[in-house]
Structures are given as C-alpha cells and as structure tokens.
Amino acid sequence: MRYLLTFSYDGTLFYGYQKQKNKRTVQEEIEKVLSKINNEFTAISASGRTDAHVHAINQKAHFDSSKEYNLDRLKHSMNKMLPNDIFIKNIERVNDTFHARFDVIKKEYVYKINIGEYDPFSREYIYQYNWNLNVEKMREAINYLKGTHNFKSVTKTIKEEKDYVRTIYDAKINVKDDIIIISFVGSGFMRYMVRNMVGLLIAVGEEKIKPIDIVDILNKEDRIFAKKTAPAEGLYLTNVYYE
C-alpha cells in the first residue's frame, strides 16, 4: 500500500532535504522514524529536494508499506518521534501507481526579503537585505519571468539538465510591514532557480539592471549573465499540486 505524507520543516539546522552521508537531513530523519515504526527500512520519495536552510510548509513524499495503518495514530506516533523542526501535517492512502515526484503538476515557492531594520530574530527565515528596493520596477520585471522559457541562465549548471524549459504560471510581489513577499507558481523548478530569479529581481530593485534586461538574460541561456543567488534562508516551498 502507498501512503502520501504532507509535512513542514524548518530548514535552519538541516543540510537540505536529500539524504547525505554524515549530515543531518529531512529525508533521513523521517526515514528513521518510519523504519522504526515498521521494524524494517522504509524509504520515502519526495516531490523534490530543497537545499540547506530552505524551509517547507507543505512538502510531499510517499512511502510503501504492507501494513494498513490507523492514519491518525500513525501521524501522532511520527510527530512524537520526529525532532521538533519537522511536523507531519497529514497522511493519506493513495493509488499504488501514484508518485510524489513524477505526478506533480505544479509547485509554489515563496521568498521573503526584509527591507526594513535588521531583525536578528527572523534572520534564519527572512533575507535581511535591510535597504530600500524599487518594488514597482521589481513588479514590472517579474512579469518577464512568467510564461514558458528556457531558464538555463538562472539554474545551477554544474550538472547539465536534459531540458531547461519550465513554465511559470503565476508570479507576484506583495509588501507587508517592510517584508517583500515574492511568490512563484510553476510547472517545476531546477536547483537554485527561484533564488537566482530573486537575485535578478533584487538587481532590478537596486536599479542595476532594467526590468526588460531579464528578457535578454534569459535568451542568453548562460548562468554567467545572471546576477547573484539570493540566500537560502528566505525561501519556502509552500505548496505541491497534483491532479
């Protein structure tokens, strides 16, 4: 039987989602708990990985088991055993052909920037830029990221992807109490893609480049032409969508 987990985590003390040798990861912590409950190693397959210090509000992962669980009891047991920077929000039975990664139709990420006074208490959760940005120009620029494009210019390219084309269905910028909140909903996101898009928007907000320059940077299909990568701390995986 296949089960789907919905869970959140504070990425501050993790070396990312994906299991790594001798490093603390979200995947390893959840697999340790499930394996203990099942009395055998139980692997999970997530919708995708997040990097070190990136947070998740609604990450998804599936696992297989021959056992039929009381789902409320399983959720309670897992949360009791997991460290307090991971929380299982929901567990449900899914079709055995369902796949948490390959069945994703879109994802949503949010990035937060503090343009007000430095806040030491939120430094692990909001990028402390602490300077003015031209938000209106950033709002103009983000429209050039919408649609279907080759996003090679805003992707880590040490490992070559087979296909750099993705679709951004929606992207917007809101401001609340000196916090800029940038959201992207897309068909999929490659490594550092969101943080590099945010880096471009910051460059626009600093008036170092014009909003229209984003079109040229995307068309060059070369990471060297994009600006710096925004820090991981401000990034959240907020939602994963399936049919």
| Alpha-carbon dihedral angle through residues 188, 191, 192, 194, given to the nearest 10 degrees | 10
Collapse the DSSP code of 94 into the 3-class scheme (helix H, G, I; strand E, B; otherwise coil) and give the result.
Answer: strand
Residue 115: count other Cβ atoms within 10 Å of its Cβ: 17
C-alpha angle 90-93-94 in degrees, rounded to nearest 5: 115
- 170 included as an active-site residue: no
CA distances from 105 to 56, 97, 163, 173 (A): 18, 16, 16, 23
Residue with tokens 């997530």: 46
Cβ neighbors of 51 (< 8 A, separation 6 or more) are 16, 17, 191, 192, 232
Q: 104 forms bridges with which residues in the sheet? A: 242
Using CA atoms, how far residue 219 sits from 154, 181, 224, in Å, is 11, 26, 12
Are the CB atoms for 25 and 17 separated by under 8 Å?
yes
Amino acid letter, residue 65: S
Name the active-site residue from 10, 51, 119, 213: 51
Report yes or no: 192 and 50 within 8 Å, Cβ to Cβ.
no
Q: Which helix (H) or strand (E) holds 215?
A: helix 213-220
Active site positions, annotated:
51
